Amino acid sequence: MPALPADFHADLAKKLSFFSHKTGEFLVFLKYSSPKIEMALEIDFRKPDSSSSSRFSLRTRDERYKKREAKVLLEGGILIVALVFGLILRLYAYEGALITSRSMAPTLSRGDYLLIDHRAALRGTWKRGEIVFFNAPASWGLEKQTLVKRIIALPGETVAVFNGVVLVNGQPLKEPYLKPHDADDFFPIRLGQNEYFVMGDNRDFSEDSRDFGPISEKEIRGRIVTRLWPISVIGTVS
């Protein structure tokens, strides 16, 4: 038991209170508090059928515990809501992804951390030139891998590569994001319904639809909207 402060008895007398003083009834309630110790004493000499002051004492303690429990519940509730909200955002709105290859250089570099927008996947709307995050098709032999590439051609279009130039429906595709490269020719193919032709910006070092064929709409998980890391290049990605 901790030692009592030197001024305990003097302070004790000051805090002595008489709540009821009737014939044959006597109640003393004593409470002492300090930064290191808290003591409470209740002496009840009243008749058994009189309990108003006892209820007061119990109510005071109950309220203290209720406030403490309410605080814990509130903090726990806020944490749960935050976790659920974060999970919903991850599943249906946003997700982070780390670039681990050089296939999208110079647009994206190894070590870049990206923000992925899932909302376009819910709408099922994709545009040429968008950089997308997708599950590698089973036919690619890259089971359970996720990749980042750029959409080059859309469903129903014909795509080919000649002398390093991408042709979509026979017309050269403007690609200002590319650096000079020596990509091999690719014979024309026509994309089916819900099929997309994707390629890496680093054409000489990217395995993509030229090697494995188009991807389906259901395999696209989202589009890259922002680079979050490194700090020196934070911003939108296009």
Q: Where exactly are the structural domains of the chain?
A: 1-50, 62-92, 94-236
What average pLDDT does the chain have? 75
Q: Class assignment of domain 94-236?
A: mainly beta
| Predicted pLDDT of residue 78 | 76
DSSP-assigned letter for residue 155? T
Stretch among 76-85, 170-179, 182-191 having the lowest mean pLDDT: 76-85
Q: Determine what percent of the chain is predicted with pLDDT higher than 70.
A: 63
| Predicted pLDDT of residue 191 | 96
Which of 34, 57, 103, 139 is catalytic? The answer is: 103
pLDDT over threshold 80, residue 214: yes
Give residue 53's pLDDT band: very low, low, confident or very high (50, 70, 90). Answer: very low
Active-site residue flag, 139: no
Which of 33, 34, 149, 206 is catalytic? The answer is: 149
Tell me the mean pLDDT in the region 175-184.
Answer: 85
**Closest to 133 measured CA to CA, from 148, 153, 114:** 148
Active-site residue flag, 53: no
pLDDT over threshold 80, residue 54: no
| Predicted pLDDT of residue 12 | 44
Instruction: Give helix then strand counts, H and E, for the chain.
Output: 4, 15
| Predicted pLDDT of residue 203 | 92
Distance CA 198, CA 130 (A): 10
Residue 220 vs residue 32, higher pLDDT: 220
Tell me the mean pLDDT in the region 223-237.
Answer: 88
